[in-house]
C-alpha cells in the first residue's frame, strides 16, 4: 500500500466504492486521515461498513463542513455531460476534488528514496486504443530483464494498492482519460501516448475535451521523456508542443504509417519490422512478424510505444526483443484461445469501438467475424472500407437485426447469441481461417462488461470438438 501523504488529521470524503474507491480509503486511513465513504449502492456501502469505514451521507445539510477534500472514483462524471450532484455540491462548498491518481503522484516519493542508488520511476500510458497491451508489455519486458516492476491503474491493481517501489523499481500505470482529467497531480518520469480516436465523447463534451484530458499527462505532468504516437494530427501536435526542436530526444515519436525522417528519436514499424532511429541513423531493429503475442499492425504500434518507453528506461534493444518474444498478450485483446481443425479462434472482446475492430480485422486473413452489441455513435459505418478479409459475419446482440443492416454488403447471418454465433462460425470455417470476436460495440446489452463477453466466447469455443 502507498499511504497518502499530507492528510494526517483531516476528514476526506470518498465517493464511489469500487476498486479504486476502497483502495483510496485504505490508503487515506494509513496516512492518518479519517475517510468518509459513500456510494449510491447499498451493497457497496454495506461492504465498506463491514470493513470498519465511516459512511457519510452527502445529502445531509452539513455534509461538507470540515471536509478537506473529495476523492472521486473514475466512473463518476465531474463535469460532462453534467456533474454528479454530490461533486457539484462539494465544488459549491469549496472542497477540492481529486482522485486516487492525484493522491498517488503526490504520495509516492518518501524520505527512504534518499538512500536509493537509483530512484524509482513511473511510466504512465494513455491513449484511445492499445494502452492496456502497451502497459502490460512494458511491465513484462521489465520483469523479463530482471527489473522490479509493478503494473497498476486502469489495469491490474489500484494505484494505491501497490507496494512502495524499491531501489530502481518501476511503476507502470495505464491511465484512462477519466483518470487524467481529474487528477490534481501528474508527474510521470516517462509518459506514453499511443493514439487517439473518438471515444467517451459524452464524458468530455466532444473530441477536443477528450484530447485535452489525455494531453494533461504531458502538458501538466512534464515527463522527462515523452513517447508519442504521431499517426494522428493530435499526436503530431502534442509531440510538437513537448519538443524544443527537431533534434530534441526528450520526445520519442512513434509511427506505423510511415518512416519518420529528421534528426530526432523515433521508433517505427513497417511491414512487420520495428526500427529505432536516432540522429537520422538506424540504431536497432526487431522482426515482429513471428511474435505470437503481438499480431497485426495495431500490436506493432503497441510494440513501438513500449519499445520507446523501455529504451527511455535504459533497456537494450536485445533485452526488449527477448521480452517481446515471451509476451503472451492480454485476455480479450487479440487473444488466441484455441486452434481446432486448422481454424484459429481469437478473442478481441476489448474491441468495443470501430477503430479497435478495424485493427483486429486487418490483423488476420480470411475471417469469420462475430460482431455486434451496443453500438456507439456512427454504428459500423467507419468499417465499410475495411471488410476485405471478412468471409462472413455472424451478428450478435439484442439489436442484431438492425446491426446486420449496416453490413449488408458482406455475407452475414443473424445469430443474436454467442452460442449460436460460435457454433455457426465453427461449422462453416475452413482450415486456415480465423473465427474472430471483434464486436465493434459495447457489451452492456447482453453482458456486464467486455471481459464477461470474451469469457463467454472462450467457453463456447472450448465446447467445440478438437
Dist CA 139 CA 315 (whole Å):
12
Q: Any binding-site annotation on 235?
A: no
Q: Collapsing DSSP states into helix, strand and coil, what is residue 274?
A: strand
Q: Is 131 annotated as a binding residue?
A: yes
Q: Does 128 show up as a binding residue in the annotation?
A: yes
Is 133 marked as a binding-site residue? yes
47 is in an annotated binding site: no
Which segments of 36-107 does DSSP mark as H helices, in order? Answer: 42-50, 85-92, 100-107
Tell me if 216 sits within 8 A of 131, measured CB to CB. Answer: no
Is there a contact between 418 and 452 (Cβ–Cβ < 8 Å)? no
9 marked as binding residue: no
Q: Three-state SS across 173-188?
A: EECCHHHHHHCCCCCC
Place of cell 526488449: 320
Kind and range of the H or E element at 453?
Answer: helix 450-462
Measure the CA–CA gap between 440 and 433, rounded to whole angstroms. Answer: 20
Q: Inter-axis angle of helices 207-219 and 233-242, to 10 degrees?
A: 30
Whole-number Å distance between alpha carbons of 438 and 357: 5
Q: What gap in Å lies between CA 343 and CA 426, rounded to an integer?
A: 8
Does an H or E element contain 27, and which?
Answer: helix 19-30
* Residue 154 marked ligand-binding: no
Q: How far is CA 438 from the centre of its chain?
A: 17
- Asked if residue 67 lies in contact with residue 14, where contact means CB atoms within 8 angstroms, the answer is no
- Residues making up the annotated binding site for ATP are 127-133
Which residues are documented as binding site? 127-133
Amino acid at each position: 500500500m502507498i499511504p497518502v501523504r499530507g492528510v494526517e488529521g483531516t476528514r476526506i470524503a470518498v465517493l464511489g466504492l469500487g476498486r479504486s474507491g476502497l483502495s483510496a480509503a485504505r490508503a487515506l486511513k494509513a496516512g492518518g486521515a479519517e475517510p468518509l465513504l459513500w456510494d449510491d449502492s447499498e451493497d457497496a456501502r454495506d461492504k465498506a461498513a463491514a470493513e470498519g469505514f465511516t459512511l457519510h451521507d452527502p445529502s445531509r445539510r452539513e455534509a461538507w463542513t470540515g471536509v478537506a477534500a473529495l476523492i472521486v472514483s473514475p466512473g463518476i462524471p465531474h463535469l460532462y455531460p453534467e456533474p454528479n450532484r454530490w461533486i457539484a455540491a462539494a465544488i459549491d462548498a469549496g472542497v477540492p476534488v481529486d482522485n486516487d491518481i492525484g493522491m498517488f503522484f503526490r504520495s509516492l516519493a518518501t524520505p527512504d528514496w534518499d538512500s536509493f542508488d537509483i530512484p524509482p520511476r513511473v511510466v504512465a500510458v494513455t491513449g484511445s486504443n492499445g494502452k492496456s497491451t502497451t502497459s502490460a508489455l512494458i511491465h513484462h519486458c521489465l520483469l523479463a530483464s530482471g527489473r522490479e516492476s509493478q503494473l497498476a491503474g486502469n489495469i491490474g491493481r489500484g494505484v494505491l494498492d501497490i507496494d512502495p517501489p524499491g531501489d530502481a523499481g518501476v511503476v507502470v500505470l495505464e491511465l484512462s482519460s477519466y483518470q487524467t482529467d481529474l487528477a490534481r497531480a501528474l508527474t510521470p518520469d516517462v509518459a506514453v501516448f499511443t493514439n487517439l480516436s473518438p471515444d467517451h465523447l459524452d464524458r468530455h463534451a466532444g473530441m477536443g475535451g477528450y484530447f485535452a484530458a489525455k494531453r494533461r499527462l504531458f502538458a501538466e505532468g512534464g515527463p522527462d521523456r515523452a513517447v508519442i504516437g504521431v499517426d494522428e494530427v493530435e499526436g503530431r501536435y502534442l509531440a510538437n508542443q513537448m519538443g524544443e526542436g527537431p533534434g530534441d530526444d526528450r520526445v520519442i515519436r512513434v509511427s506505423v504509417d510511415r518512416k519518420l525522417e529528421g534528426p530526432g528519436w523515433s521508433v517505427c514499424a513497417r511491414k512487420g519490422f520495428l526500427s529505432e532511429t536516432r540522429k537520422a541513423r538506424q540504431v536497432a531493429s526487431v522482426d515482429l512478424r513471428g511474435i505470437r503475442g503481438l499480431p497485426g499492425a495495431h500490436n506493432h504500434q503497441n510494440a513501438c510505444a513500449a519499445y520507446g518507453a523501455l529504451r527511455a528506461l535504459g533497456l537494450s534493444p536485445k533485452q526488449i526483443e527477448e521480452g517481446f518474444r515471451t509476451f503472451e498478450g492480454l485476455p480479450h485483446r487479440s487473444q488466441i484461445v484455441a486452434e481446432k481443425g486448422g481454424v484459429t479462434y481469437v478473442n478481441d472482446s476489448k474491441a468495443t469501438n470501430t477503430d479497435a475492430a478495424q485493427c483486429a480485422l486487418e490483423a488476420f486473413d480470411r475471417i469469420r467475424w462475430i460482431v455486434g452489441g451496443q453500438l456507439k455513435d456512427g454504428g459500423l459505418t467507419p468499417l465499410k472500407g475495411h471488410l476485405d478479409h471478412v468471409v462472413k459475419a455472424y451478428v450478435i446482440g439484442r439489436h442484431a437485426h438492425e446491426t446486420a443492416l449496416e453490413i449488408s454488403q458482406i455475407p452475414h447471418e443473424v445469430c443474436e447469441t454467442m452460442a449460436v454465433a460460435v457454433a455457426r462460425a465453427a461449422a462453416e470455417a475452413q482450415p486456415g481461417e480465423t473465427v474472430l470476436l471483434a464486436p465493434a460495440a459495447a457489451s452492456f446489452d447482453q453482458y456486464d462488461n467486455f471481459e464477461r463477453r470474451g469469457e463467454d466466447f472462450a467457453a463456447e469455443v472450448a465446447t467445440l470438438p478438437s
